[in-house]
Amino acid sequence: MKTTKIKLKIGEFSKLNFVTVKTLRHYEQIGLLVPKHVDQWTRYRYYDVGQMQQMRRILSLKKLGFSLEEVREIFEEHAGEPPLEMIRARTEECRSEMKRLRERMNRLNELGNRLKTRQKMEHITIRPLPAIIVASHRRVISGYDELFDLCPNVIGPEMARLGCECPEPGYCYTIDHNREYREGTIDIEYCEQVTEKRQDSELIQFKEVPAVPAAACSNHYGSYDALPEALAKLFAHIEEQGYKPAGSPRFCQIDGIWNKESEEEWLTEIQVPVTR
């Protein structure tokens, strides 16, 4: 039995494939999908049934991220199947894009968390800090996250070995001794209040910290990477109230990875000694 070839006008082909006539004309112009027949009298364009599968393949390759120029190359030189090197290149682009999107999502989450906790962050008080005895450990670290390992695995065991006793409620803080910012290099001192001095060791030195008559104090919730924003607000408040800094800021880690599941619940109190 003789088979009758179906000819589809451009409008019909457009409707069946869910693509616009404008798109089909563009594909024709760039040689990607050319009608099988153009009537010499009416100039009507006709597509055949086999081109419907080609159209689906074009749309599928576009969804995979291939450009129209690459799709045309795939049909002309690779029989409609992308070679492995093109697939690997597109996969690597996806991997890079995923990394950029994850970084963007993390920054958006941090911004959202800071906005949610803005009222907490903006609560600032001026109060004295009492004289205390501390066990001090000083070293250079690459980032504040190192404290998550340093405190429980290095400082804590050494303080226990020396027989340190800490009053309730506990009080500890860090001070950055760098004179200027140095990426990946923080000259940090960790201080934890103790009831009395013990014998110094290579890791721990005991000292008396004098009272601070006045300190501007505020709570920061969230990542340590966002501390500069909290410091900017705190210093603006110090200036507005007619004070000026009188010493290095103390960062008191109250809640963190050791007792909170969510980073947005990490609580750091910033204490800046001030004077009139």
Rounded CA separation 142/184 (Å): 4
CATH number of domain containing 48: 1.10.1660.10
**What is the percent of the chain where pLDDT is above 70?**
95
Tell me what pLDDT residue 3 has: 61
User: Cα 179–254–197 angle (5° rounding)?
Assistant: 75
Are residue 150 and residue 270 in the same domain, yes or no? yes
Tell me what pLDDT residue 115 has: 63
The pLDDT confidence band at residue 252, using thresholds 50, 70 and 90, is very high
Which residue range is the domain that position 56 belongs to? 8-82
Residues 268-272: what's their mean pLDDT?
A: 92
Are residue 217 and residue 159 in the same domain, yes or no? yes
Q: Is residue 2 part of a domain?
A: no
Are residue 175 and residue 210 in the same domain, yes or no? yes
The pLDDT confidence band at residue 180, using thresholds 50, 70 and 90, is confident
Q: Is residue 164 part of a domain?
A: yes
Are residue 202 and residue 271 in the same domain, yes or no? yes
- Residue 146: what are its φ and ψ, rounded to 5°? -65, -20
Distances, alpha carbon 61 to alpha carbons 82, 182, 227, in Å: 9, 47, 46
Tell me what pLDDT residue 183 has: 80
Rounded CA separation 190/148 (Å): 12
Q: 213 or 253: whose pLDDT is higher?
A: 213
The pLDDT confidence band at residue 215, using thresholds 50, 70 and 90, is very high
The pLDDT confidence band at residue 209, using thresholds 50, 70 and 90, is very high
User: How many domains is the chain built from?
Assistant: 3
Are residue 72 and residue 173 in the same domain, yes or no? no
Rounded CA separation 255/276 (Å): 31
Residue range 195-206, pLDDT digits in tens: 999 999 999 999
